Structure 1
Amino acid sequence: MNSIPSVNLKDFTSNDPDKKQQFVNAIGKAYEEIGFVALKGHFLDDNLVERLYSEVKNFFELPVETKQKYEIPGIGGQRGYVSFGKESAKGKKEGDLKEFWHFGQYVEDNDTLKAEYPDNVIVDELPEFNKVGKETYQMLEKTAKYVLRALALHLGLEETYFDAYIHNGNSILRPIHYPPITREPKEAVRAAAHGDINLITLLMGAQGKGLQVQNHKGEWIDAIAEPDELMINVGDMLSRHTNNKLKSTIHRVVNPPKELWGTSRYSIPFFMHPISSMKLDVLDSCVDNNTPKQFDDITAGEFLTERLIELGLIKK
C-alpha cells in the first residue's frame, strides 16, 4: 500500500446494514495491510477543534517558568506538562524535538479507578483550557468506541466486546507543540520512528507533510489527512491482542525542509487505552496452524508500565 485509505464513520453508524458492513470490511482490510486509516464522519465539530487549537497555542506560548509549574514529578508524565526533549522513542538516546500536555480520564462512577489515575492538572492562567480539553477528550473517546466496535465485528467478536474495557480506560489526550527549529539537529527529529503503545490512536492535525508511515516493504509514505479527517492507527496493545493480525505500524514525524524551520507545528493525538486489568492475551480467533500464538499473556497495565520504562518516562 502506498497511500492511506479513507473511510467514513457515518457509514458504520447509519441504519444501513450494507453500508455498515462495507465500513467494517474497509477498516479491517486497512488495519491488516497498513495499520492506518483517515476517518471522516467523527464526533468532533469544527468549532470545538478551533477552540482547542486556540487554547493549546495559548498554553504553549506561556513563559517557560509558568509551564514548568504544571510539570508534576513522580507520575511519569501522565498528566500535565512534559517539557522539551524529555521523551525519546524506544531504543533512541536523543530526546524528541517537542513539548506536550496530557489530559487524562474523567472518572465519574468508579472510585477504585479514580484513585488509580493521577488527577488532571488545572491551568490557572487559562480558564477555558481544561474545559475544551475535556470536551475534546470525550468526543474522541466516543469516536474511538465506534471504531473499536467495527474492529470487534471484523475479528468475529461481539460488537460491544471492547466497550467494558475502554469505559474509564486509561486514555490520554496529548496536545504536542513542535517548536521552530533554531539550529541543525544532530540526530533528533520531531518524533523518532516508533509504534504506539495503546489500542488505537486518533490523531488531529495530520494535515500537511510531516507524519510518515512505514509500509510492509519498509518504504516511508506520507500520511496526510484532509481537514475534516482524523488519522487513526493501530497500537501495540491491539496488535498483540490480535496476534499481529491488525498491524501496529511504525511511524515518525520528520523535520520540515529548512525553509520551514521557523514555524511551529501542533499535533493532537488521542491514545485510546483500556482499563489496566484488561487481559491482552492473544484472541483464540487469531490463532491457527499457519499463525501460532506469538505473544505471552500480559495485562494492559503491566504492558504500559514496561513501555513507559523503555521510553524513559518512568525510572526503574
Structure 2
Amino acid sequence: MKSIPHIDMSLYGKNFEAFAQTVGEGYEKNGFVALTNHGVDQGLIDEALDICRDLFALPEEVKKQYHIPGGGGARGYTPFGTEIAKDAKHVDLKEFWHVGREVEGEPPYPQLTPNVWPKEMPEFKTKILRLYEALDDLGMQVLDALAVYLKQPREYFRDKVQLGNSILRPLHYPPIIDEGTPSVRAGAHEDINVLTLLIGSREPGLEVLAKDGSWIPVTIIEGAIICNVGDMLQRLTNGVLPSTTHRVVNPPAPFNSKSRYSIPFFLHFNPDFVIDPLESCISDDNPKRFEAIGSHDFLLERLREIGLVK
C-alpha cells in the first residue's frame, strides 16, 4: 500500500452498485479510504477548523470550566495529557472537545447527554452542529454501500446508527516543545466505533500501518475526507473489513513548532445494538472470531483501556 484508495462519492447517485463494490473492496484491502466529491461544503469545513483554533486558544482556566470530571470525556473539554493509546506507556500530546448528537425532548437513550457549549463563543455551536449533520449524512451513504457489499439490504445500517452516540471531536495537538519527548501526538491505535470520518488536518503527521508492517503517511489530500473502519464494524464483519492501526507522529521541523488541528467524526451504533458477526461474513475459511456484545458495553470496555473511564 503506497497510499490509501480514493473513492469518488459522486458515484453514489450515478452507479450505486459499482460504488458499493469499489467502497467495499477499498475497505477490505486497507480499512482506510479517502472520500472525494463528497458534497460537504469546503467553506463549512474551513469555518469549523478555524473556529476550533479559536476554541483551543481560550485561556486554560476558561477551557477547564467545561471539563466534566468523571464524565469519561463524553461531552465538553478534555485537557492536554489525559488520553493514552491502548497498551501505550505515555499519554498523547493533545487536547479535545466532544460534541454529541443533539436530540429534541427526552433522549431515547441515557447516553445521549446534553452537549456542553462554550459561552465565550456562541457561534461555535452553530458551525459545529452543521458539520456534525453533514458528516453524519456522509457516513450513512458509506454504510449504505457497505451494506450491499456485505450482502445485506441497502438500508441495513439505517435504523442501527440513526440514534447512535456519534461524536464530533475537535482536536488540538500543540507545538512540540520538547523534541526528546517519549510521547507522540496520538499513539498507534485502532478506533473503537463503526466508521471514522476525518476532516483536516492542514498539517502532516497521520500514518496508517500497512499489512507488511510499514507505516504509510497519509498525505494531505486537498478537499478529501479520510474515512476508516473502526473496531465495531470489524467485529460485525467478522474481520472482513479490518480496523487498521494508525497514529499521529510528531512531525519534523518546521511543522513541529506549529499546532495541528483536525476534526474526526466517530460514527457509532445505537447503544442497544448487539454486535454479532453477520452470517454473510462467516465461512469455513473465516470461522466466527467474535462473540456477541452490546455496542455500549463494548464502548465502555474500550474507554477504560484508553483512560477516559476509570
Length-normalised TM-score, structure 1: 0.95
Hey, what does 1:77 align to over in structure 2? 73
Residue by residue over 1:104-142, the C-alpha shift from the partner in whole angstroms, topping out at 9 and shown as x without a partner, is 0112376332x4322100110001001111110000000
- Distance in 1 of aligned mates of 2:280 and 2:201: 33
Q: 1:179 to 1:217 in 2, by over 3 A?
A: same
2:17 equivalent to 1:7 = no
Between 38-47 and 137-146, the greater mean CA deviation after superposition:
38-47
Cα displacement (A) at 1:206: 4.1
Hey, what does 1:29 align to over in structure 2? 25
1:207/1:224 contact within 8 Å kept: no
- Distance in 1 of aligned mates of 2:106 and 2:284: 41
Q: Which amino acid in structure 2 is aligned with residue 304 of structure 1?
A: L
Hey, what does 2:89 align to over in structure 1? 93
Cα displacement (A) at 1:53: 1.5
Q: How does 1:1-316 map to 2 (within 5 A)?
A: 1-14=1-14, 19-108=15-104, 111-113=107-109, 115-315=110-310
Residue by residue over 1:150-187, the C-alpha shift from the partner in whole angstroms, topping out at 9 and shown as x without a partner, is 00000000001000111121100001000011112431
Residue by residue over 1:25-61, the C-alpha shift from the partner in whole angstroms, topping out at 9 and shown as x without a partner, is 1111111111111001224202211221121111100
1:75/1:118 contact within 8 Å kept: no
- Distance in 2 of aligned mates of 1:95 and 1:296: 30
- Distance in 2 of aligned mates of 1:309 and 1:44: 33
Secondary structure of residue in 2 paired with 1:258: coil
Secondary structure of residue in 2 paired with 1:269: strand
Residue by residue over 1:268-287, the C-alpha shift from the partner in whole angstroms, topping out at 9 and shown as x without a partner, is 10000011111110111100
- Distance in 2 of aligned mates of 1:229 and 1:81: 27
Cα displacement (A) at 1:90: 0.3
Secondary structure of residue in 2 paired with 1:244: coil
2:111/2:271 contact within 8 Å kept: no
Q: Which amino acid in structure 1 is aligned with residue 145 of structure 2?
A: A
Secondary structure of residue in 1 paired with 2:263: strand
Q: Which amino acid in structure 2 is aligned with residue 283 of structure 1?
A: L
Between 218-227 and 280-289, the greater mean CA deviation after superposition:
218-227
- Distance in 2 of aligned mates of 1:173 and 1:116: 15
Q: Which amino acid in structure 2 is aligned with residue 297 of structure 1?
A: A
- Distance in 1 of aligned mates of 2:98 and 2:175: 21
Cα displacement (A) at 1:314: 0.5
Structure 2 gaps of 5+ residues are none
Cα displacement (A) at 1:100: 0.5
- Distance in 1 of aligned mates of 2:178 and 2:203: 22
1:206/1:231 contact within 8 Å kept: no
- Distance in 2 of aligned mates of 1:207 and 1:122: 25
- Distance in 2 of aligned mates of 1:170 and 1:42: 23
Between 58-67 and 40-49, the greater mean CA deviation after superposition:
40-49
- Distance in 2 of aligned mates of 1:40 and 1:119: 33
Identity across matched positions, percent: 45
1:82/1:101 contact within 8 Å kept: yes
Q: Which amino acid in structure 2 is aligned with residue 68 of structure 1?
A: K
Structure 1 gaps of 5+ residues are none
1:207/1:227 contact within 8 Å kept: no
